[in-house]
Amino acid sequence: MVDLGCATGPNTFSVLTRVIDTIQHLRRNGNQDSQEFQVFLNDLPDNDFNGLFKLAESLKEEKGLVFGSRSRCFVYGVPGSFYTRLFPRNSLHFAFSSCSLHWLSQVPQGLVRQNKENIYISISSPPEVLDAYAEQYKRDLSTFLRLRGEEMVPGGRMVLTFMGRKVNDFSSQEHYKFYSMLAQTLLDMVTEGLLERDDLYSFNIPFYMPCQQEVRSIINQEGSGGKLVAENIRAIMEPMLVSHFAKLKNCDALFERYSWKIGEYLLKEKAECHMLAFSLNRGD
């Protein structure tokens, strides 16, 4: 199992120890042998992994996972961004991430010119800024899900918690008002000559709070609902489409759009496919 974006401190182990406790309880009730656990702690390389390892040793003692020189819980540090591949294929049974996936892999491009005097989305941000943040989040979460899909075993589970917003649009200021106040405070210090204006203009937070619909749409796309249907339809329709539409030399763009439409449909509707089967006998 792995904690993605584990940070440092006692809370790092709160969920993973509950998972271990639950598994031990179930195995005891089923008169099964004790289970061994392999726990990976992932965060960026500058995280305090040494502090986590010390804390892990005391927790293993507390949970009864060490018997003399034999341990039943093996803890490893995995430094690196979770927007990259971290583990071999089909190697993870359980993945968990808390308060990490609202952080982007990078600041969206083009914000220096378009978002001056703001450090995040604000009421004065032009639509291009909102689109840039949303697109960066879409790319990042899609990458995260695709990579974890390669690393998880069939039937593996993943639990993700992160900050989000209640409404679909940005009409409400509740999710960005504190960052707007911070931007105003920085601007005040620029006006007083305490900070450089160019430094303020070039600073934007790599952070995004999605709404539920955005996340569901991305999960459905990467999780294969729309993608799987689109690929099946493509296998049948591509030759006919290419031969008929003169400008359709490459169907990638078409079926990417198509998969999104199917994904949106599957979020709202239950799709069924009815098959007819006949058994025939030849008459005399």
281 vs 113, which has greater pLDDT? 113
Q: In 3-state terms, what secondary structure has residue 146?
A: helix
**One-letter amino acid of 91:** S
Q: Which two tokens stand for residue 162?
A: 């992160």
Of the candidates 157, 20, 26, 21, the one whose C-alpha atom is nearest the C-alpha of residue 94 is: 157
Mean pLDDT of 156-184: 83
**One-letter amino acid of 27:** R
Residues 210 and 257 in one domain: no
- Residue 235 falls inside a structural domain: yes
Give per-residue pLDDT as tens, 176-220: 888 888 999 999 999 999 999 999 998 999 999 999 888 888 887
Helix ranges (H only) for 177-251 are 177-191, 197-201, 212-222, 225-244
**One-letter amino acid of 171:** S
- Residue 282 falls inside a structural domain: no
Give per-residue pLDDT as tens, 51-90: 888 888 877 777 666 544 556 788 899 999 999 999 999 8
The neighbour count for residue 194, using CB atoms within 10 Å, is 9
State the residue range of the domain holding 211: 103-150+163-223
Residues 200 and 235 in one domain: no
Residues 175 and 108 in one domain: yes
